[in-house]
Structure 1
């Protein structure tokens, strides 16, 4: 797997990351969602450089200009509900992208630290020969992405697989690298060193879905 860690470079992206981490700023759920969306736009711009382009003549009022435009058909698949703002950020840049949505959540038994990932809803177009973009804002253990990959197999074989995440743990990235095809690309804004006993990224941000949309039962 090829890892593109944009947090290694100095850019405006760091401002957005700092704000979603800040325990005071993240109390504003609208600002939190917008920052995730903006991070998606930055990651989408960088990811776009890896796509296939073809020349096309564009007629202006004064002449014709040859432009290199994206040829690949992109399918953006996001994990509900935390992935929605990140999905929108990508969609802001990829106007003609097709869309898929997966409902996946952790199920803890009581107060136990161990959990299983439940996938109980999936909707997507055919992936055959297309560029699949999986968006999961918090790449913690990587088990959610593993389950999603298994569920996608009946929808066809994509030409390429790209994962777009906001923050990941080193452990989760290593796990994803072990289960995804070697040609997979990961585009990520920050990598944190560890997980706590319940599988949350440290220092991370907390629960991205709750911060964006409120606490769930």
Structure 2
């Protein structure tokens, strides 16, 4: 897997990341969502540099301009519900993309410190020969990302796969690196050292879904 860790190069991304992590600033859920969206825009721009482009002629009122444009073959898939702001940020830049949505959540059966990933809802266009961008803001254990991709396989084989996350743990990054082939790209804004006993990223930022959309009932 090819890993693109954007935190290695200081940029305005650092400002949005610091606000996401700050326990005082993140209490403003609208700002929290907007910061994830802005990070999605930055990552979409960086990701776009690796896509395939082809020449196009553009007719202006005074003549012809020649440029190169990326092929409009992108399917943008996000994991509900935390993935929605990240999806919106990417969609702001890839506005011609087709869209897919999938639900994946942790189910704790008997031991609160162990869980399995449950995939229920899925809406997806054909992926055959297209560029798949799979977005999930928190790459903790990596199990959700892998389970989601497995659920997408019946929809066809993409020609390219790009994974997009805001924060990941070393363990999760290693897990997806082993699960995906060497041609897959991972775009990530920060990689933290570890997970706690419940599988949450440390220092991380907390529960991205709750911070963006409010606390959920536990089942």
| TM norm. shorter chain > 0.5 | yes
- Structure 1 spans left out of the alignment, 5+ residues: none
After superposition, the CA RMSD in angstroms is 0.8
Worse-matched range after superposition: 103-112 or 166-175: 103-112
- For residues 147-205 of structure 1, give each alpha carbon's deviation from its aligned partner in whole angstroms, at most 9, with x where no partner exists: 11110110000001000000000100000011112210000000000000000000000
Distance in 1 between the 2:202 and 2:94 partners? 32
Distance in 2 between the 1:108 and 1:202 partners? 20
Give the corresponding residue for 2:42. 42
Give the corresponding residue for 1:108. 108
Q: Is the 8 A contact 2:77 2:102 kept in 1?
A: yes
Task: Please give the secondary structure, in 2, of the residue aligned with 1:126.
Answer: coil
Residues 124-163 of structure 1 correspond to what in structure 2 (within 5 A)?
A: 124-163=124-163
Distance in 1 between the 2:215 and 2:12 partners? 29
Task: Report the CA distance between 1:72 and its aligned residue.
Answer: 4.6
Distance in 2 between the 1:120 and 1:170 partners? 27
Q: Is the 8 A contact 2:72 2:97 kept in 1?
A: no
Give the corresponding residue for 2:97. 97
Residues 164-203 of structure 1 correspond to what in structure 2 (within 5 A)?
A: 164-203=164-203
Residues 62-101 of structure 1 correspond to what in structure 2 (within 5 A)?
A: 62-101=62-101
- For residues 57-91 of structure 1, give each alpha carbon's deviation from its aligned partner in whole angstroms, at most 9, with x where no partner exists: 10111111001001150000000000000000000
Task: Please give the secondary structure, in 1, of the residue aligned with 2:127.
Answer: coil
TM-score normalised by structure 2 residue count = 0.98
Worse-matched range after superposition: 203-212 or 55-64: 55-64
Distance in 2 between the 1:95 and 1:88 partners? 9
Q: Is the 8 A contact 1:195 1:201 kept in 2?
A: yes
- For residues 125-158 of structure 1, give each alpha carbon's deviation from its aligned partner in whole angstroms, at most 9, with x where no partner exists: 0000000000000000000011111101100000
Task: Please give the secondary structure, in 2, of the residue aligned with 1:101.
Answer: strand
Distance in 2 between the 1:161 and 1:184 partners? 5
Distance in 2 between the 1:40 and 1:214 partners? 21
Count of paired positions: 217
TM-score normalised by structure 1 residue count = 0.98
